[in-house]
Amino acid sequence: MSAAVILAAVLGGGFLLIARRIFSRRKALRSLSYPASLMRGKTVIVTGANCGIGKATAAELLKLQARVIMACRDRQRAEEAAQDIKNQAGANQGEVVIKHLDLASLQSVRSFCEEVIREEPRIDVLINNAGLYQCPYSRTEEGYEMQLGVNHLGHFLLTNLLLDLLKQSAPSRIVMVSSKLYNQSKLANLLFTRELAHRLDGTGVTVNALTPGIVRTRLGRHINIPLLIKPLFLLVSWLFFKSPLEGAQTPLYLACSPEVEGVSGKCFTNCEEEQLLSKATDDNTAKRLWDLSENMVGLRR
């Protein structure tokens, strides 16, 4: 086969992929259309809201006139992100509040919750978005493996400490951003969601998980990609990975769509319920994880 034929095949395939990418992106953006004042008067906490899916979710909620609490570890980056999303939101926007939260420190989680309970009369939605992936091995302030500590234990304590306020604000929602990768901490997110839904039955507080798919964010910044491969990786990511805004559509859907009012204990992808593997739906494992997590974060009396 001649070089010209090969080149034509590559270029033609590339054109089709780009066309498919553009089409799917437009379809995704259309699905984000909600009434402009849908979240007026509602307060939403978004962890890890200074970048990626969290930032995109916060930006869309701000456009819907929500009071958005950006719960972030790096205050400077949070302030830069807040200014950016306010500039994008237009004239009729909600309110942005920045509060410090380091999920790798259970003391920081407790301090954050004390501040929220003291200053906020209600919490309508809690979006547990922040996460780590394949970071170099390290430990949290309390000595737990970093990914488990941030992705699961920090959010476990955060959610439990805010439950009373969420119940007082009912109907309210909890949204857990998980992953199909099913590593230890992300599987824990799904099991936590399942057990929490059982415990919240009848309270007016719902909890659902989601898997956003592969999104172009800083989550994979710790993955070592050889220098020669990076240009190809960037091309592939542009062609196949979702943008942060596309990745934010399911968290946004679970946070504010009337279609999921009263729905709880489920997992969604692309704004539709998905079926999970059996290891993510085992009630006995979910209960054991809950008991263990309570001990690890100091909630068990």
Active-site residue set: 182
56 Cβ contact list (under 8 Å, min separation 6): 243, 244, 245, 247, 248
Ordered alpha helix ranges (H), the chain: 3-30, 52-63, 75-89, 106-119, 146-148, 155-168, 184-199, 230-240, 244-247, 249-256, 283-297
Nearest to 210 by CA among 276, 123, 148, 157: 276
Alpha-carbon span 57 to 60, nearest angstrom: 5
Alpha-carbon span 103 to 73, nearest angstrom: 8
Alpha-carbon span 268 to 248, nearest angstrom: 12
Alpha-carbon span 69 to 45, nearest angstrom: 5
Give one DSSP letter per residue of 145-181, joined into a string: BHHHIIIIIIHHHHHHHHHHHHHHT-SEEEEEE--TT
Contact between residue 254 and residue 87 where contact means Cβ atoms under 8 Å apart: no
Nearest to 186 by CA among 196, 175, 178, 174: 178
Alpha-carbon span 290 to 175, nearest angstrom: 17
